[in-house]
A = this chain, B = another copy of it.
Amino acid sequence: MNDAPRSLPAITTQTVLDRIQATRAQAHARLMEFLSIPSVSAQPAHAPDCRRAAAWARTELDAIGFATRLVETPGHPVLLATRVGPAGAPHLLYYGHYDVQPAEPFALWTSPPFTPTLTEGRHGPIITARGAVDDKGQVTMWLEALRAWHEVAGGPPATITVVLEGEEEVGSVNLEAFLLDHAPELRAADIAIISDTGMWDIDTPAITTRLRGLVYAELQVRGPSRDLHSGLYGGSALNPINALTRILGGLQDEQGRVQLPGFYEDVAETATAQATEWAALGFDEAAFLGEIGLSTPAGEAGRPAVERLWARPTMDINGISGGYQGPGAKTVIASEASAKVSFRLVAGQNPPDILAAFETFVADHTPPGYHVEIRAHSMAPGFEVSAANPYVGLARQVLAEEYQRDAVLIGSGGSIPVVESLRRILGLDTLLMGFGLNDDQVHSPNEKFDVRCLDHGTNAHARLLGALARYI
């Protein structure tokens, strides 16, 4: 982004918003068309539909002045589209995906998943269809914003790259190769923009500025060379399950703090302003836990729930296995036992260091004589985009204009792998400005998107482009 303002385009953002308002019906109709293509990436029978969805989006982008390419992969193609903006304009990389989750079980849908249906919801009209919000509806928002800028001003006030993949719902298996292959041109972008996250609630826009990272490791403890009779050998032979529980049982203290050496060393305390903003959200942990049958919170004692979920690292044992697991009793000393252990990380923590600390901890807590093996399944750092990032600042500003209410900076306890790939491979920060709601039934039957969210989101994207124009 250039700091020096340049001549504004001849139109104003309001003109663009007026155009969007005047053509809502057509925009909605286009989304309905997009949603009617059953582009289920996981199911081979739908491979032609995936290609059809990519082609559909390509036609839309062709129509609004983009140079488009369908880049083949071993799976479904990536649609790569570019449009060069005014000299010196910022360069935005919009990422989205045209594939959707399988719709099964069909019987639970109130209307056919690929026959998008408009009905009345809690907050006005809703569109029900597989992909309504994840991600066709959210992609539509920036697509329509780009269209309006094209129609009103002959193009957006920025250079735009669009990456629309077709394998997000199957782990983006070919995306890294694509990003590496096209790194030289993609690296030219200033920021990535993704709409695949949610609002705080229907009235409160949100920007997701934090995602947790992950170190996921498997621990295997081996003892005797075969399973033994626990009567004849108990008291002499090593027991790998005894050892495994001894090792893992010490991973957290009574206060819920992870006991790996140096685990919290690179974890920054939440800034007071951020903590105050989060406190104001009034997150109801009792209700959050009540829905899953719990009343006692876990995690580090003495910290607010939102901080525990978004800004603090965790340790969870995701699976454990060893010995006899059938019904009744078997008096066996197993020859091995294993566990899958994961650490959610926050920005600042270095995954290889955490893995090394885990290895050290395990070595220090393994009783003598056992063979222990640790295998890492995945390592990804936590993500945080600073509140001081100028794009975050612009997004907050346009969201406040659109909603007449301040946007909140939220986090997510999970990971969005593409965000990590964009940073690692392209060096790009990501602006996560999403308009989904908690009750959107993402990945479940009756996925829906509120038209109110769709319309505000489209406006917000148009406003964001307008705000950028001031910097040209």
Contacts and interface: CB of A to CB of B under 8 A. Distances in A.
A248 interface: yes
Given A324-B340, A344-B230, A378-B329, A317 B238 contact: no
A123 interface: no
Interface stretch (A34-42, A297-305, A419-427): A297-305
A242 B231 CA distance: 28
Contacts of A246: 249, 252
Contact of A292 (B225, B289, B298, B312): B225
A353 interface: no
A232 B295 CA distance: 17
User: This chain: how many copies in the complex?
Assistant: 2
A369 B300 CA distance: 15
Nearest to A291: B225
A331 interface: yes
Contacts of A369: 294-296, 298
A328 to B, nearest CB: 6
A300 B330 CA distance: 23
Contact of A413 (B232, B318, B368, B413): B232
Contacts of A289: 236-237
Contacts of A106: none
Nearest to A310: B235
Interface centre among A224, A237, A289, A321 (most CB of B within 10 A): A237
Contacts of A337: 320
B233 A413 contact: yes
Contact of A316 (B226, B242, B305): B242
B318 A323 contact: yes
Given A234-B344, A236-B299, A298-B235, A323 B323 contact: no
A320 B323 contact: yes
A17 to B, nearest CB: 34
Interface residues of A, number: 81
Nearest to A312: B235
A377 interface: yes
A325 B316 contact: no
A260 to B, nearest CB: 14
B293 A224 contact: yes
Given A235-B314, A239-B317, 14 more contacts: A230-B314, A231-B344, A234-B314, A235-B299, A235-B312, A236-B285, A236-B288, A241-B339, A242-B316, A245-B251, A247-B249, A319-B330, A320-B323, A321-B322
24 contacts: A212-B234, A224-B294, A226-B293, A230-B318, A231-B344, A232-B309, A234-B309, A234-B316, A234-B413, A237-B289, A239-B298, A239-B317, A241-B320, A241-B339, A242-B316, A242-B317, A244-B245, A244-B320, A295-B369, A318-B329, A318-B332, A320-B321, A321-B321, A324-B340
Interface of A: 212, 214, 216, 218, 223-226, 228-239, 241-242, 244-252, 254, 285, 288-289, 292-300, 305, 308-309, 312, 314-325, 328-334, 337, 339-340, 342, 344, 367-369, 377-378, 412-415
Closest 8 pairs between A and B when the two form their complex, measured CB to CB: A249-B249, A296-B369, A231-B414, A225-B293, A319-B323, A235-B299, A329-B377, A245-B248
